[in-house]
């Protein structure tokens, strides 16, 4: 189950009309990254626990993604991180352990090895942990030397030195479902896990590969930049773009159907999703542009994020650190000052 019903307030205004699972990560929707990862770990069926913007997710994801079948469990009101598990009890596990993941991570956590550890430890729940350079935004998880979880710590300015953070990926036994009250918002981290910890039934799986939580704009941007730098350049792919004499500075990513005008400069670190159009002599550097956005001639965009289906008129300047919500029109010759947020 992917928990995908949160309001994604930290990604506003980009998330006002676009669910987090559809956010492009180097041009590919997050749900596809997650489905490929889950599929490589042996998962063949996805349940999306949805609420906010569920109709859009249903239309765009449909019943299949990256070879996985998709079912939807729709909450009438948000049920937190544990309530959706109870709501979908009849779809989950069918007597076997099942996997639950937050719907905002990009990672290569080894699901098969995590499940093997869960079974070997005879735990009721196994949680993936990662160590990050700055654990303070996340809240830490303390374990003993056998990897048994001892304590969840709230977000703290001075987290324990040896702590790891919750990666948002769990293997749960069906018995955990019974401990979740029905029909009310319940938190896994604050209400369900503390009971398991008291009984010594919660195991940790230490992940040492890559892991991004894209739930804030700064982390979303960081994930895109770092994942772009891991990929082979695609800007020369003839089917991906009609460059028309523009200059592409690597690393950059150009989605299918991208058009680059004469004399335009794109990159370095420009990530253009599908069907973006960049006008003549426009400049786009160190920025993420969502699908179907149109950038006018001579417009300059630097160090910014522009939502989907935005039209930016000719000769505009979008200065560094700006965020422009989807589906807006910015008139020609506009000046958007540094660190501006243009709302939906």
Q: Please report, as ranges, the residues that interact with ligand GTP according to CB under 6 A.
A: 3-10, 49, 51, 75, 78-81, 84, 102-104, 215
Q: Shortest approach of ligand GTP to residue 183 CB, angstroms?
A: 13
Nearer to ligand GTP by Cβ, of 76 and 232: the residue is: 76
Query: Is 118 strand, coil or helix?
Result: helix
What is d(CA 318, CA 281) in angstroms, rounded to the nearest whole number?
15
Nearer to ligand GTP, 237 or 343 (CB): 343
Give the pairing type, strands 247-248 and 265-266. parallel
How many angstroms separate the first and last alpha carbons of the chain?
30
**Token couple for 252:** 């950059």
Least distance from ligand GTP to the Cβ atom of residue 2, Å? 7
Nearer to ligand GTP, 168 or 296 (CB): 168
Distances (CA, A) of 60 to 30, 63, 222, 322: 12, 9, 25, 27
Do 2 and 34 meet the contact criterion of CB atoms below 8 Å apart?
yes
CB of 72 to ligand GTP, least distance (A): 10
Exposed/middle/buried for 215, CB within 10 Å: 0-12, 13-18, 19+?
A: buried
DSSP helix/strand/coil, 287:
strand
Question: Which residue number is nearest to ligand GTP in terms of Cβ?
Answer: 6
- Alpha-carbon distance values, 295 to 29, 148, 257, 322 (Å): 21, 53, 14, 15
CB of 328 vs ligand GTP, minimal distance in Å: 21
Query: Please, what is the minimum distance in Å from the beta carbon of residue 177 to ligand GTP?
Result: 15
Closer to ligand GTP by Cβ: residue 102 or 273: 102
C-beta separation of 155 from 180 below 8 A: no
Complex with ligand GTP: residue 211 or 253, whichever CB lies closer? 211
Selection from 234, 323, 216, 303 nearest residue 274 by Cα: 234
- When the beta carbons of 139 and 233 are compared against ligand GTP, the nearer one is 139
Residue (74 or 116) nearer to ligand GTP, CB = 74
CB of 145 to ligand GTP, least distance (A): 29
Minimum distance from CB of 101 to ligand GTP (Å)? 8
Which residues, in sequence order, are bridge partners of residue 254?
272
């Amino acid at each position: 189950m992917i928990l995908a019903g949160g309001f994604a307030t930290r990604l506003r205004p980009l998330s006002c009309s676009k669910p987090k699972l559809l956010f492009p990560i180097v041009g590919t929707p997050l749900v596809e990254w997650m489905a490929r990862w889950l599929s490589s770990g042996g998962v063949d069926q996805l349940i999306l626990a949805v609420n906010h913007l569920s109709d859009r997710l249903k239309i765009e994801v449909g019943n299949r993604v990256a070879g996985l079948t998709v079912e939807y469990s729709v909450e009438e009101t948000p049920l937190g991180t544990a309530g959706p598990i109870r709501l979908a009890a009849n779809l989950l596990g069918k007597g076997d352990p099942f996997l639950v993941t937050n719907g905002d991570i990009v990672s290569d956590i080894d699901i098969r090895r995590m499940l093997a550890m869960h079974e070997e430890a005879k735990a009721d729940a196994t949680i993936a942990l990662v160590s990050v350079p700055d654990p303070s935004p996340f809240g830490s998880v303390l374990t003993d030397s056998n990897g048994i979880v001892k304590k969840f710590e709230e977000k703290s300015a001075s987290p324990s030195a040896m702590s790891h953070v919750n990666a948002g990926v769990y293997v749960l036994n069906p018995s955990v479902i019974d401990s979740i009250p029905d029909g009310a918002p319940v938190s896994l981290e604050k209400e369900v896990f503390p009971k398991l910890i008291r009984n010594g039934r919660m195991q940790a799986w230490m992940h040492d590969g890559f892991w991004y939580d894209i739930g804030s704009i700064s982390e979303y941007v960081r994930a895109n930049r770092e994942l772009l730098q891991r990929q082979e350049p695609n800007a020369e792919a003839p089917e991906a773009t009609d460059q028309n004499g523009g200059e592409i500075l690597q690393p950059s990513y150009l989605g299918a159907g991208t058009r680059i005008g004469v004399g335009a400069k794109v990159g370095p670190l420009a990530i253009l999703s599908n069907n973006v159009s960049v006008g003549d002599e426009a400049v786009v550097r160190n920025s993420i542009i969502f699908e179907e956005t149109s950038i006018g001639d001579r417009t300059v965009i630097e160090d910014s994020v522009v939502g989907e289906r935005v039209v930016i008129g000719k000769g505009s300047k979008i200065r560094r650190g700006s965020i422009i919500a989807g589906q807006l029109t910015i008139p020609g010759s506009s000046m958007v000052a540094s660190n501006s947020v243009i709302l939906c």
